[in-house]
Amino acid sequence: MRRAVLAFLAALLVLAALGPAPASAASGSITDPSNDAGARIDITRLKVQNGDHRVNFELDVRDLRKRGQFSFDYWGGTSGNPPARSAIVVVRYNGGDIKARLYVCDTEECPQEPCQGLTAEWKRAADVVTASLPQRCYPRPAANPDAPAPSVGRFFAYGSLNDHYDELDGQVTVQRG
């Protein structure tokens, strides 16, 4: 009996030393043809990590410059165009501060909403724009504000600069976690 107790305690110590399991995130990406839009705004790839606690977007842009605006759309579920609830992260840069805003949408309007933890980066040297937001910022149904974030998301992106525009030819569908 004593040996069984000692073996059990030893197993518990090993598990404690390993620490908690890391948070998981499902990911996906989509490529877009290069040169289908003007340089500085030409989106060539969207990568998404749809984690249990955060959604991370990474956008590759051909010849990224000091100005522009990119929007990352997060549609929950697999149906509805648009769905009953969605989120849009808009990242703007004009050579100064990077501004990231969250817009929470229903099927008719998209008011700007606060989102503590929303971040964005504009990496000119790498031709990359990133955005990240906590899952808690995704809009919940009014009847169930404590509902979890969607178990699957549809993601797409588009960019604009003056009269130049580009959007992905498709979307990324990724399970959460």
The DSSP annotation for 49-61 comes to EEESSEEEEEEEE
pTM of the model: 0.82
Asked, for residue 15, whether it belongs to a domain, the answer is no
Asked, for residue 114, whether it belongs to a domain, the answer is yes
Can you give the pLDDT at residue 21?
A: 36
Can you give the pLDDT at residue 53?
A: 93
Can you give the pLDDT at residue 19?
A: 34
Number of domains in the chain: 1
Q: For the domain that residue 112 is a member of, what is the CATH number? A: 2.60.40
Can you give the pLDDT at residue 13?
A: 34
Can you give the pLDDT at residue 3?
A: 43
With CA atoms as reference, report the closest residue to 75 among 97, 52, 103, 45: 103
Would you say 77 and 152 are in contact if contact means Cβ atoms under 8 Å apart? yes
Mean pLDDT taken over the chain: 84
What is the domain extent for residue 133?
A: 23-175
Name, in order, each residue with C-beta under 8 angstroms of 93's C-beta and a sequence gap of 6 or more: 66, 67, 68, 69, 99, 122, 129
With CA atoms as reference, report the closest residue to 93 among 18, 165, 161: 161
With CA atoms as reference, report the closest residue to 132 among 44, 64, 47, 75: 47
With CA atoms as reference, report the closest residue to 53 among 135, 167, 132: 135
SS3 category, 66: coil
Q: How many CA atoms lie within 13 A of 125 on its CB side?
A: 0
Can you give the pLDDT at residue 54?
A: 96
Asked, for residue 117, whether it belongs to a domain, the answer is yes
Can you give the pLDDT at residue 24?
A: 55
pLDDT in tens, 5-29: 333 333 333 333 333 334 456 999 9
Asked, for residue 18, whether it belongs to a domain, the answer is no
Can you give the pLDDT at residue 128?
A: 97
State which residues of the chain have pLDDT below 50. Answer: 1-23
Instruction: Render the burial of 105-118: b for 16+ CB within 10 Å, e for the rest.
Output: beeeeeeeeebeeb
